[in-house]
Structure 1
C-alpha cells in the first residue's frame, strides 16, 4: 500500500539518491574544520553543497509523492548532437575569441536542441549568462579567461 502513495517512482527514487549522497558527504566532512564564511575551513564548501543536495533531494522526493509520472518523450539524436557540438564549439573558441563570443554561441547552439526554442528568450539568456560568467569567473574569482580573445584584436 505504501508503493501506491508514490506517484512518480523515478522522482521519488532520485530524491532518495540525492539525500543519500548528500548525507554521506555530510558524514564524511564532519571531522573537518568548518570555519566561517569569511575564513572557510576545509569542510565549509562540501557541507554547504551537501546540504543543498539534501534539500534538492527532499524536494524531488516529495514531488515524486505528489505529481503523477509523465510519459517519457522520444529521444532525438539532433538534440544530443547539438548539445555536444555547442560544448566542443565553446572549448574551441574560448581562448581565441574570448567569452563574449564563446558563451553566447554555446547558449544559442545548445538551445536549438529544445523543441521550445525561441530566439528572443535565447538571446536574453545568452547575454545574461555571459555577463554573469564574466563578472563571477573573470572579475570576482580572477580566473585567467579572456573576455575578448586575441582573434578579435586583444
Structure 2
C-alpha cells in the first residue's frame, strides 16, 4: 500500500460546482429527454475524470490525471508530514482563527497518520481569505479500501 497527496486551492464558487465533483450517474438520461439534461450529462461525463476540482468522494482522486498527485509515500507518517507542511503553509490565510491553532493542526496531522495507517482516506477543507477554499487529501492506493476497483494513477 502507498499514499497519494492532493491539494487544490481556488475560488469557493468554483469549488461549489458539485456537478463536476461527482461522477456521472451510471445510467445516462434517455436520448429523447430534456436537451439540457442530456447536454449536462455529456459535460459531466467528459469533465469529471479530468477536472482538477476535488471529488465529493475522496477515493475518486485516483481516477484524476496523474499530474494532480502532489506526492506519493510508502509510510503513513511521511504522508502525514506532507499534510502538516501544507497546513502550516496555508494557515496564515485560514479564515477561521481556530483552524490556525498549532494544537489543532497537530491533531489533524496525527489523525491523518492514524487513518491512512489502517487504510482510510483523509480529506479536509478550509476556507481561505478572498473567498477561496483549500482542499487537502491523502488517498490510500493499491488498493483503496472504499473503492478497491480504482487503479493507481501513476501506473
Using CA pairs below 8 Å that are at least 6 residues apart, which structure has the higher relative contact order?
2
TM-score of the aligned structures, taking structure 2 as reference length: 0.28
- In terms of fraction of residues, the more strand-rich structure is 2
- In terms of fraction of residues, the more helix-rich structure is 1
TM-score of the aligned structures, taking structure 1 as reference length: 0.28
